[in-house]
Structure 1
Amino acid sequence: MSTLPNANRRRILQASGSLLLVAMAYSRHARAGETIDIELMGAGNGAHVWFNPRGLIIKRGQTIRWINREEGNVHTTTAYHPDYHGKPLRIPHGAQPWDSGYLMPGESFSVTFDTPGVYDYYCVPHEHAGMVGRIIVDTPDADAQALRQASDALLPAAARDGFVAIELIMAKRVVE
């Protein structure tokens, strides 16, 4: 057996490995810029309303687009932040809060997330019905759980009970 076939095989493997690394880097970059949709949903009779998915993890720099998919009902996506309706802070310190205002059926609203951490949000007219969501950007901030436990008593019971656990989101990545 000559050394030429082994040398060629080694070069091919090295080139393939390099191409794989380039493809992985490109794929990772493409996903970071990808827009992810969250649907604002409701049962036909309005008895049950929700965000779909209710919890997910994304990369810094990704954009979330909320789309009202419920015919005949308005929704919002609003960060838990004192600037909006005096709610407790449940987004990372220094992160930009948001409030979509009322979204009519078919309308959408987008936010790009640049600060790592846990973001809790709700629908203004449906918070008491438990219409809440949670987004984790990269990893949870160090005080994420303590911040939430300190403000849980300030939320309606249905909202407090509607959040997907941080650990479950970290394990599953997307929770519907």
Structure 2
Amino acid sequence: MKTVALITSAAVAAMMTVPAMAEDHQVQMLNKDSEGRPMQFEPAFLKIAPGDTVTFVPTDKGHNSESVIIPEEAEAWKGKISQEITVTFDEEGFYAYKCLPHVAMGMVGLIQVGDDPEPLDDAAVQKLPGKAKTRMAELIAEADAKTTE
């Protein structure tokens, strides 16, 4: 009986120390999104937990994903054209990213890691080219709306 109790106690203790499983999210790199907008990431805005990963999938060829504005302690990334890349997001904050060949056409995205991140550096957002700046403003508004829900 003591053996069963000991094994049960050990199993319960082991389960309590296992961290929650990180999720993998997928972002498609597209010539046209489901709303008909050209050169887009879909979804363009994600809210994820620290430790989650995002896989950027080149559904349509000729795209990449690379970081533009990230938290100070975070690690930058730069995917190759037409190549899948998986990025792990450990630091809380906002991560703005772009498709290098199509950033001028507004192909940018935003990832919110955690529930209460610091706002994006507005000066850095203002340096994005025209359509990218406009699209990023839309994504920031979407993030703000989801934070207040």
Partner of 1:75: 63
> Aligned partners of 2:116, 2:96: CA distance in 1, in Å?
12
Alpha-carbon deviation of 1:167? 4.8
Report how far residue 140 of structure 1 moved: 4.6
Equivalent position of 1:37 in the other structure: 26
Contact 2:51 2:88 in 1 (8 A): yes
CA distance in 1 between partners of 2:108 and 2:116 (Å): 18
Higher RCO by CA contacts (8 Å cutoff, separation 6 or greater): 1
- How large is the Cα RMSD of the aligned pairs? 2.3
Note the alpha carbon deviations across 1:49-102, whole angstroms, 9 max, x for none. Answer: 1000000100000000000111xx31110001xxxxxxxxx2101110000121
How far, CA to CA, are the matches of 2:38 and 2:141 in structure 1? 25
Report which of the two structures shows the higher radius of gyration computed on alpha carbons: 1
> Match of 2:77, SS?
coil
Is 1:162 matched up with 2:135? Answer: yes
Does residue 91 (structure 1) correspond to residue 70 (structure 2)? The answer is yes
Q: Which has the higher strand share?
A: 2
User: Match for residue 3 of structure 2?
Assistant: none
Shift of 1:170: 5.0
Contact 2:67–2:96 (Cα < 8 Å) also in 1: yes
1:152 aligns with 2:143: no
Q: Secondary structure at the match of 1:168?
A: helix
Number of residue pairs matched by the alignment: 126
TM-score (norm 2): 0.75
**Match of 1:135?**
111
Length-normalised TM-score, structure 1? 0.64
Runs of 5+ unmatched residues, structure 2: 1-15
Unpaired runs of 5+ residues, structure 1, are 1-24, 81-89
Rounded Cα–Cα distance in structure 2 between residues aligned with 1:127 and 1:117: 22
Identity of aligned residues (%): 28
